[in-house]
């Protein structure tokens, strides 16, 4: 069944440019508030560690998660689906009870498994931990992804904080503020994802449910100029929708949550 969805109060304004862009997605109702967008030159200019959050000491981390926009609980399973140019993508994110010690911090292993038309394409272990202020940190990942050209599994993109100069980044701040920019990961020339808070009060309507008061972030990497993703997080629920405005305007939406 084709999913019906819409995002209320959505338009785009360039942060560093002087032009205004209207962004329309098929099936989307777009009105209202301004949303900043980075142009390609600005994305390249942000290739630096200037937005890397100051890492606290290992003693400042706590067990479990309280950040309402991440909403991780041991045993919780998020399932997402979306139609891509290659087929139907299904993503299963599981908060496991496994841990991994990195830089003196006991991180939680969150698995991210991706299928394309029912065929396994990627399996990843991500490592997260929350500090005592409620910021959720990203310590790296081990990823195995199927490479169609080489016809083999690849671990390209895997990294671990503290190894080969890699540094932890922030998945989600405790208190997001408009315009806040932060580095989500830093492994030079390999993993340099960044994010910016661009809205604090979105209403997102998808087939699964309607969510109010959502946080919207824009994510990009200076390693791929021009590319960007918009992610929407509902308080107490977690990520509910991801949009990729370029490359076919892909939409990945939440379809189910399994509670422990």
In the predicted model, is pLDDT for residue 21 greater than 50? no
Please state the rounded mean pLDDT for residues 19-36. 36
- Whether the CB-CB separation of 110 and 126 falls below 8 Å is answered with yes
Tens digit of each residue's pLDDT (9 = 90 or more) over 168-193: 999 999 999 999 999 999 998 888 99
- Which one is predicted more confidently, 30 or 62? 62
Dump pLDDT digits (tens) for 206-235.
Answer: 999 999 999 999 999 888 887 889 999 999
Instruction: Round to whole Å and give the CA distance between 168 and 161.
Output: 5
Q: Which helix (H) or strand (E) holds 98?
A: strand 87-102
Q: Is the pLDDT of residue 127 over 80?
A: yes
- Write down the domain spans for the chain: 6-258
Residue 23 has pLDDT above 70, yes or no: no
Contacts of 183 (CB under 8 A, 6+ apart): 49, 51, 52, 53, 169, 170, 192, 193, 194
CATH number, domain 6-258: 2.40.360
Q: Average pLDDT in the 55-79 region?
A: 96
The whole-model pTM stands at 0.83
Q: Judge contact between 126 and 137, C-beta under 8 A.
A: no
Least confident of 5-14, 87-96, 140-149, 152-161: 5-14
pLDDT higher than 60, residue 16: no
What is the predicted pLDDT for the residue at 180?
A: 93
Beta strands 20-21; 6-8: pairing state? unpaired
Q: With bands split at pLDDT 50, 70 and 90, how would you rate the model's confidence at 143?
A: very high
């Amino acid at each position: 069944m084709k999913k019906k969805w819409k995002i209320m109060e959505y338009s785009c304004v360039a942060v560093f440019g002087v032009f205004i862009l209207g962004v329309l997605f098929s099936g989307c109702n777009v009105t209202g508030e301004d949303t900043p967008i980075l142009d390609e030159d600005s994305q390249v200019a942000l290739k630096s560690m200037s937005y890397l959050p100051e890492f606290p000491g290992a003693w400042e981390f706590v067990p479990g998660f309280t950040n309402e926009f991440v909403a991780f609980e041991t045993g919780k399973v998020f399932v997402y689906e979306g139609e891509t140019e290659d087929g139907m993508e299904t993503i299963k994110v599981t908060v496991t009870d496994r841990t991994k010690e990195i830089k003196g911090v006991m991180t939680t292993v969150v698995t991210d498994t991706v299928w394309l038309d029912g065929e396994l394409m990627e399996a990843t272990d991500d490592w997260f931990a929350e500090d005592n202020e409620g910021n959720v940190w990203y310590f790296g990942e081990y990823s195995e992804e199927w490479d169609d050209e080489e016809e083999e599994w690849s671990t390209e993109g895997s990294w671990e904080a503290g190894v080969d100069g890699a540094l932890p980044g922030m998945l989600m701040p405790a208190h997001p503020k408009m315009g806040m920019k932060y580095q989500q990961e830093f492994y030079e020339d390999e993993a340099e994802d960044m994010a910016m808070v661009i809205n604090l009060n979105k209403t997102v309507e998808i087939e699964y449910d309607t969510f109010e008061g959502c946080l919207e972030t824009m994510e990009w990497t200076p390693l791929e100029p021009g590319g960007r993703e918009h992610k929407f997080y509902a308080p107490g629920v977690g990520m509910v929708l991801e949009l990729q405005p370029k490359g076919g305007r892909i939409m990945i939406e939440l379809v189910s949550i399994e509670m422990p």
